[in-house]
Structures are given as structure tokens and as C-alpha cells.
Amino acid sequence: MNIAMQCCSLMVLIVIMYLYLSCKKVFLNSEFAFFNLLCSTVLCVFMDIISIVMMSKYDYFGRGIVNGVAKFYLITVVYVAVCCLMYIISNVYDKGDKLKISRLAVYGCFAIVCIGICVAPIEFVSDGKVVYSKGLSLYVSYVFLCIFTLHSAALLAKYSRVLNKDRVKVMSLWIILWIAVCVVQAFYKKQLIVSFAITLGMLVVYIRLENPESALDRETGLFNQNTFGPYVSQRFRNGERFSLIMVTFDDFNKAPVSGTIRCKKEIINLFKDIPNTFAFKTNENDIYILYKHSEEAEKMFEILRRRFILYGDKEFRPYISYMPYSAITDNIDDMLHMFRQANRSNEMLEHHYIIIDKAFRDRMMEVQRIEKMVNDAIENNRIEVYYQPIYSTEKHIFTSAEALVRIRDDKGKIIPPATFIEIAELNGTILKLGEIIFDNVCTFIETSDVLQYGLEYIEVNLSVVQCEHEDLAKEFIEIMRKHNISGETINLEITETATLASKKKLIANMIALRNYGVGFSLDDFGTGQSNLNYIVDMPVDIVKFDKEMTTAYFESTKAKYVMDAAMHMIHGMKLDIVSEGVETAEQLDTMEELGIQYIQGYYFSKPLSQNEYLEFIHKNNKDYYEQHNKQ
Ligand code: C2E
Ligand code: CA
Ligand code: CA
């Protein structure tokens, strides 16, 4: 009797089992399958030892018992092959239904094998040193062992492309070992190497694929990215709901690194070992904590919000996103997309926390719809520019117009800029859009006769994102050159905003464009954002009084004083004023009396399509045309 090899194998397996169980894990489907495989291997090796011992003491134990034990051992060998197949299945079909059906089919087959092994006869051979079994029972187990193993090999080959390469390699090795065992055992019955081979296979799978340490982040002890994705995906697939809190640290903020580290540590310690939760750290250094129950998640979110956002040190404020109900989506990709969008949102930047709920999802979907609409419109040439005439109170004709963008959607409906400008600014599309608008305006000036009708320049709105774009001046000058129009025919409208990050770039762009002859207006004066300092700082020629200010002038004495004073100063600086939003004759008269040079508003006209605008100017500036063409 030689059972040394089997005993060593058993010891190795017990060590693997201990290491595996002593480490925390989330229990993915594939981890369950591995655990089954490990248990079946331990059982198989254990039964190998028992059956050899009993076969060698055949007379002592009696034929019936030894037969039963030997057959049970054969069943455990086949069961290891079944678990190996299930392990591969759980890796390839991670989808609920397919997994269930395959599981049923394999276990059904296995039940038949068990009956076959039990019913078929078995014999024992002993040559003094080695004891082994033979007979039909053994052949039945061999045949099915081969069938299960070949099935595993076929599955692996079929899905080798979608599976992780490392997994394919290790599992192939395991299958090759099995096939080698089958061949050796078939020809050399005395070589009892099954236990050794399966233990070796187990060791390789454990070290390379299932070592729970590899699922943990070394620095924090939290689960890492390798676990986060598969675990969350599995919960979605199984329809298991959860709540998720994500904490992220702005790596670029000005806070001292030591403070950020301290804050991070405190949060990690808070997240560690809370029952019924799993905490993860991703490759992007974001920390997620997953709760099975939303009430507990809610409590933690409140704790975090109070401790770190409301009453914490202002310098080390993390950003916290909280998704109370996973049911707002059904897959991890959409969920992560929502977290990314949430992180970038203005709400997050302002408050340092955000709740990702149904309303957030709906808003995000609306944003996506609009982004798509803008991109479609760009691709299909559906960006249109409307022109709103601007009246000169000195020359009594329409000397300029403001270019206002519109999108024609795929059904032909006109979409106003309020719907899409902010979104295009956030995702950067405004640069492309701005270029198209500018090109459109230049084409209009080049190809129409508006200059002969007394039009001096067209006002084009610039978004703050465009102002900060390094190549803005270069690109705009190129467009003007392409259309052969002079810089004097363009006036760019800039707005004062708190979000302007680089005033330097804006000024550089303004200087380059001014040198080309382009003029500038300061838009939206009189709204919350503007102040007089800005006019002093910026090289502008015109200040545009916002509609709010024009209206307020007639409604409140205070506003009247403010406007009078502002007007006095602006005129003192030798700048012109455009009054926007003039809707009535009374408003027009007052503005004219005040000495405001330009009037824009519905009183004269709403923004008009290019052709309507041409008609408008042909009709209203006719005298100018006739006078100047006679000369
Ligand atoms: P804005 O630059 O202040 O443009 C004036 C807005 O006031 C226009 O709205 C115009 O139609 C409206 N308006 C003009 N006169 C009156 C009036 O008498 N009464 C009323 N109630 N409204 C009047 P619109 O065309 O919807 O544009 C809205 C905003 O969208 C613009 O405000 C501007 O900030 C932005 N925008 C429009 N076109 C462009 C563009 O080409 N580029 C960029 N970056 N922004 C644009
Ligand atoms: Ca404007
Ligand atoms: Ca304005």
C-alpha cells in the first residue's frame, strides 16, 4: 500500500482551503464554482486514501463495504470533472438563464453516471505493493470523465476569445492534466496519479486565478477593480438590488496632500468591516461602498455629508455621489456612466455631493438626447443662423444685426439655443458649433449685398469655452480670410462669467482679433454676473444692456438710477451702448432720449431667418441703398 502521494496531496489541498477561507471575498458565481471544485477535490483525494486503505484490508472490511467505498471514490473523481466543467461554465455563461440550464443538464447527466457506477460490477487487484480496481464500474467512470473533460475543452475553445487570456491558459492546463491522467490510468492501471494530478491542477488555478488576495487592494485592504466590475454586474444579472456610495478625491485640488491622505484614511477606516456591505477601491482611486439595504446606505451618506462636506475641513472635501436605488438602471455600464456624469456636473462641483436618482437619470438622458441632436445637426448641415436687426438711433437705419444660432431637428422643427448651448459648452461641442456659426455668418456677409444696404457689422456670440480656446483667433482669422471679408464687419460678443478660467488666453485672443479689425461687445450687462470693473479690464467697444435692465428701467426707480449712472460712466469711457429687449415704442423713445446708440428688440423685429432678414433690410434700409448707389 502506497498512499504517501495521496496524503501529501491532501495536505496541500487543506492548506489551499485554509488560505481561501481565511480571506474575505464577495462570492462571485465563479468563486462559488471554484469553492465547489476545491471541496470536490478534497473529497476525491480523501476517498482515494480511504479506498486504497480499505482495498488493502479487503478481508477485514468485507466485500460489500469495500465495493461501496471504491465506487463512491469513482463517483468523486467524476464529480471533480463535473465541478471543473461547472467552473468553466460559470466563467463563460455569466448570464442567469443559460447558467441555470447548463447546470441542470450537467447535474442530470452526473446523476445517470452515479447510477451507472453503482450498478456496474467492480473488482480489485493487488500485486502486493499496489492495490487498484478494475471492472465495468471503472470503465463507466472513465468514459464519463472523458466526456465531461472533452466538453470542458470544447467550451473553452469556443469562448477562448471572450475570456481573459490568463483564465484560458490556466484552465487549458487543468484540462490537459485531466486528459493525461485519463490516458495514463487507462494504460497503466497501477499508476495511481489521479489525486496528485488534480491537486496540482487545483494549486495552479488557486494561485493564478482564484487567490482572494488578488481581489484586494494592497494599500487599503478594500476589494479592488477586479472584483468591483464582476460583482456589480453579477448583482444586476441576478436582479439583486443595492445602494451605492462613491467617494472621490480631487487629485488636482489645491489642498495639501497630507490632508487629503488623512481624509482618505478616515473614510477607508469608516468603510472597513461594516456588516452587509462591500467596499471597493477602483483603478481611478475612487472608493465605492455597496449596501444591500438602502436605509443603511442613507445613514452612511448622511454621516459622510455631515462629517466631510457640511462640517468638515473645507480644504479636504471629497466628492460624494450617492445612488440610493440600483433599480434606476439595469447594467453596470450605464451605472458607471451616470457616476462619471455626476462627477462632472456643476451640482457636484458646487456642493461636493450629488444624489443619483431617477430624476438625475432622466436629466442625464435628456442631456444625451440633446448631445445627439447637436451632433446630428452638425453632421447633416442643420445648423442655422438667424439675424436680429439692430437699429442705430444716430443713423436711423439698421446698421448691425446679432447672429443667433438655431438647430433644425430631424423633423424640421426649430430648436432655440437655450436648449443646447449650455450642454454644448459642457461637452466641448461649442467649439465646433461656434466655428460653423462663424463660417455661416462670414459666408452671408461675403455672398449677400447687406454691406451695400448700410450694414456695418454682424454681432456674433462667443461662449466662454471659445474665449479660452488657444487657437480661437487663428481659426477665426483664417475663416475671415477664406471668405475675403474684413475684420471690421464682425463684432464678437463676450460675456462676463465666473467660470472664466484663463483671462490671459481670452485677452490674447481679443488682441489678435482686434489687430485684424474685429470689434468686441460686452454682452448681458446688468445681469447678475456683470460689474463695471470688467468693462475697464476688457478691450471692448460696445456694452450691451441686457433685456432685464431695459425692463427694470421702466419698473423701478432704483434700477433707473443704476442704469443712468452706468450709462454715464460707459459713455464717459467712449463706449457705445446697445439696449436689448426693447419691445415698445415708449421704451424706444426713452432709450433714444437717453442717448443710447443702438436698439435691439422685438419692437423692430424678432430674430429672422437669413432670407427674411435680407427682405427686412432691403425694405428698411432702402433709402440708404439708393443714396449710396446714386453716388
Ligand atoms: P443673448 O446673447 O442675450 O441674445 C439675445 C436673446 O434675447 C435672443 O434669444 C433674442 O431672441 C432675445 N431677444 C431679443 N430681443 C428680445 C425682446 O425684445 N424680447 C424678448 N423677450 N427677447 C428678446 P435667443 O436667440 O433665444 O438666444 C438666447 C441666448 O443663447 C443668447 O442670449 C445667447 O446667450 C445664446 N446664443 C444664441 N446664439 C448663440 C451663438 O451663436 N453662440 C453662442 N455661444 N451663444 C448663442
Ligand atoms: Ca448676445
Ligand atoms: Ca444679451
CB of 607 closer than 6 angstroms to any ligand 1 atom: yes
Choose between 500 and 421: higher pLDDT.
421
Q: What is the pLDDT of residue 363?
A: 92
Residue 113 beta carbon below 6 angstroms from any ligand 1 atom: no
Q: How remote is the CA of residue 256 from the centroid of ligand 3, in Å?
A: 41
Whether residue 191 has pLDDT greater than 90 = no
Structure confidence at residue 4 (pLDDT): 87
Structure confidence at residue 98 (pLDDT): 76
Of ligand 1's listed atoms, the one at least distance from the Cα of 403 is 41
Question: Which pLDDT score, from 0 to 100, does residue 179 have?
Answer: 83
DSSP state of 457: E
Residue 219 has pLDDT above 60, yes or no: yes
What pLDDT was estimated at residue 479? 98
Residues constituting the chain: 631
Q: Where are the alpha helices (DSSP H) in 93-164?
A: 96-119, 136-158
Q: Report percent pLDDT > 70 for the chain.
A: 96
From the list 170, 147, 164, 16, the residue with the least C-alpha distance to 85 is: 147
- Structure confidence at residue 233 as a pLDDT band (50, 70, 90): very high
Give the pLDDT score at 254: 56
Q: What is the pLDDT of residues 105-163, one digit of tens each?
A: 999 999 999 999 999 988 887 776 677 778 899 889 988 988 999 999 998 899 888 88
The whole-number pLDDT of residue 94 equals 64
pLDDT value for 23:
85
Percent with pLDDT over 90 in the chain: 58
**C-beta 497 within 6 A of ligand 1:** no
- How high does pLDDT run on average in the chain? 90
The finding on whether 579 has its CB within 6 A of some atom of ligand 1 is: no
Q: Is the pLDDT of residue 451 over 90?
A: yes
Residue 145, Cβ density class (10 Å: 0-12 exposed, 13-18 middle, ≥19 buried) = buried
Residue-wise pLDDT for 40-67, tens only, equals 999 999 999 998 888 888 788 888 898 8
| Ligand 1 lined by 526 (C-beta under 6 Å) | no
Cα–Cα nearest to 86, from 103, 105, 69, 104: 103
pLDDT tops 90 at residue 446: yes
Stretch 411-437: mean pLDDT: 95
Q: What is the pTM of this model?
A: 0.71
- 603 pLDDT band (50/70/90 cuts)? very high
Q: pLDDT tier at 95 (50, 70, 90 boundaries)? A: low
> Which of 171, 130, 107 lies closest to 48 in space, CA to CA?
130
Residue 509 near ligand 1, beta carbon < 6 Å: no
For residue 279 the three cell numbers come to 467596499
Q: Which residue has the least CA distance to atom 3 on ligand 1?
A: 524
* Spatial contact of 294 and 324, defined as CB atoms under 8 Å apart: yes
Number of other CB atoms surrounding residue 36 within 10 Å = 18
Q: Which residue has the higher pLDDT, 191 or 309?
A: 309
Give the residues across from 124 on adjacent strands. Answer: 133
Q: Which ligand is nearest to the CA of 465?
A: 1
Indicate if the pLDDT at residue 629 is higher than 60: yes
Ligand 1 atom nearest the C-alpha of 437 is: 41
Distance 524 CA to ligand 3 centre (A): 4
pLDDT of residue 316: 80
DSSP string covering 398-452? EEEEEEEEEEE-TTS-EE-HHHHHHHHHHHSTHHHHHHHHHHHHHHHHHHSSGGG
Pocket flag, ligand 1, residue 422 (CB < 6 Å): no
Give the residue, by CA position, lying nearest to ligand 1 atom 10.
607
pLDDT of the residue at 503 = 82
pLDDT at 419: 95
Q: What angle do CA 85, 207, 220 make, to 5 degrees?
A: 120
Q: Is there an atom of ligand 1 within 6 Å of 547 CB?
A: yes
pLDDT at 631 over 80: no
User: Mean per-residue pLDDT for 276-290?
Assistant: 91
224 pLDDT band, cuts 50/70/90, is very high
